[in-house]
C-alpha cells in the first residue's frame, strides 16, 4: 500500500508570527504519533522558509517551496534557484500549481524544465495537473490531463519518478468549496496512473503517489483517500489552521492499516 501524503500549500498567506505558530501547533498535535502513517509537508511562501525550517526542527514535517526557477544561480532577477531552496532546508517543491499555470501563465514546456531542474538538483517534486471547468464540461478532462503529464514529465526517467508525486487538482475545485466527488477523483487518478504506466511501466506507476487537491476538508478527507488511487491530498485553505489540517491528516490516516481514526501507529 502507498503511504498517504498530505501537503499544505500556504500560497501567499500568513505572516512571520502566524507561520511559526502554525508550525508549532502542527508539531504539538503530530507529536506522539510515532511511526506516523501519513507523510506531511508544508509549503510556505519563500520569505518564511528559513523561520519555518527552524520552527519545524525536530519534527517529521517536511518543507517545500511553492515554485523554483529553471536555472542555477545567476542573473535571474526575482527568481529562486534549487540550490537556494536546499540551502534553507527545502526537500520538496511544487511545480505547475493551477495558479502558476492559469494566473501567471506558465506553460507545460516551462513546467517541464522546472521539474527536470528540481529533480536533477535533488528536490522532490509535487507535479500538479488538472482541468478547467469548461474543459470538464467539454469532456476534455482526460485530454488535458494526458497532455499535462506527457509534456510536463518529458525527459524524466523512471528512476527519477521515485521523487515525483502527482497532484490532480481540478481547477474548478481549488479554493471554491466545491470538491470533486470521490468517483470523479478516482476516475481521474486511475487515468493518470494509466498514463504513468504507459510512460514509465506498471511498477513505477503503481508506486507513484497521486494526491487529490481541491477544497479538501476534514469532512471529506476520509472518503476521498479511501479511493484506491487517491494517495493523499494537496490542501490549500484548510492547511492554514492546525486544527483543520490535522483533521484532514487524522481522517486520511483512518484509512491506513487499522489506525482506528487517528494518525498514531
Which 1-30 positions form the footprint of ligand PEP (CB under 6 A)? 9, 11
Question: In this chain, which of 64, 96, 130, 214 binds ligand PEP, going by CB under 6 A?
Answer: 214
Q: Are 195 and 166 in contact (CB under 8 A)?
A: no
Write b or e for each residue in 202-222: b if 16 or more Cβ atoms lie within 10 A of its Cβ, otherwise e: eebbeebbbbbbbbbbbebbb
Residue with Cβ nearer ligand PEP (252 or 259): 252
List 96, 130, 152, 237, residue binding ligand PEP (CB under 6 A): 237
> How far is Cα 191 from Cα 94, in angstroms, rounded to an integer?
21
In contact, 230 and 212? CB cutoff 8 Å: yes
Asked if 252 is part of the footprint of ligand PEP (rule: CB under 6 A), the reply reads no
Query: Residue 44 or 214: which CB sits closer to ligand PEP?
Result: 214
Residue 246 touching ligand PEP (CB under 6 A): no
CB 258, CB 29: distance < 8 Å: no
- Cβ-based neighbour number of residue 31 at 10 Å: 11
For residue 146, give Cα distances in angstroms to 40, 71, 117, 204.
27, 26, 22, 17
Smallest CA-to-CA distance from 211 within 172, 178, 170 is with 170
Q: Binders of ligand PEP among 169-208, rule CB under 6 A? A: 169, 174-175
Catalytic residue among 97, 99, 131, 135: 97
Stretch that binds ligand PEP, among 14-22, 133-141, 234-242, 245-253 (CB under 6 A): 234-242
Position among 130, 170, 213, 252 found at the interface with ligand PEP (CB under 6 A): 213
List interacting residues with ligand PEP (CB under 6 A).
Answer: 9, 11, 97, 169, 174-175, 213-216, 234-238
- Residues tagged active-site: 97, 169
Amino acid at each position: 500500500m502507498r503511504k498517504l501524503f498530505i501537503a499544505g500549500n500556504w500560497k501567499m498567506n500568513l505572516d512571520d508570527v502566524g507561520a511559526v505558530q502554525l508550525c508549532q501547533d502542527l508539531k504539538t498535535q503530530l507529536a506522539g504519533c510515532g511511526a506516523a502513517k501519513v507523510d506531511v509537508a508544508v509549503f510556505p511562501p519563500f520569505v518564511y522558509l528559513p523561520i519555518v525550517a527552524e520552527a519545524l526542527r525536530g519534527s517529521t514535517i517536511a518543507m517545500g517551496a511553492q515554485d523554483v526557477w529553471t536555472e542555477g544561480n545567476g542573473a535571474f532577477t526575482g527568481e529562486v534557484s534549487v540550490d537556494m531552496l536546499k540551502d534553507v532546508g527545502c526537500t520538496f517543491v511544487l511545480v505547475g500549481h493551477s495558479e502558476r499555470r492559469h494566473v501567471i501563465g506558465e506553460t507545460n514546456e516551462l513546467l517541464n524544465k522546472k521539474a527536470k531542474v528540481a529533480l536533477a538538483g535533488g528536490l522532490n517534486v509535487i507535479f500538479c495537473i488538472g482541468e478547467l471547468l469548461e474543459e470538464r464540461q467539454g469532456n476534455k478532462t482526460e485530454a488535458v490531463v494526458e497532455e499535462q503529464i506527457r509534456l510536463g514529465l518529458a525527459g524524466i526517467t523512471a528512476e527519477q519518478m521515485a521523487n515525483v508525486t502527482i497532484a490532480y487538482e481540478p481547477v474548478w475545485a481549488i479554493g471554491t468549496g466545491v470538491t470533486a466527488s470521490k468517483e470523479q477523483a478516482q476516475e481521474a487518478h486511475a487515468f493518470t496512473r494509466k498514463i504513468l504506466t504507459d510512460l514509465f511501466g506498471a511498477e513505477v506507476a503503481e508506486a507513484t503517489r497521486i494526491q487529490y487537491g481541491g477544497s479538501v476538508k476534514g469532512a471529506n478527507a476520509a472518503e476521498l483517500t479511501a479511493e484506491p488511487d487517491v494517495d493523499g491530498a494537496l490542501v490549500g485553505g484548510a492547511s492554514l489552521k492546525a486544527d483543520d489540517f490535522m483533521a484532514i491528516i487524522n481522517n486520511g490516516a483512518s484509512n491506513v492499516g487499522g489506525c482506528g481514526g487517528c494518525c498514531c501507529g
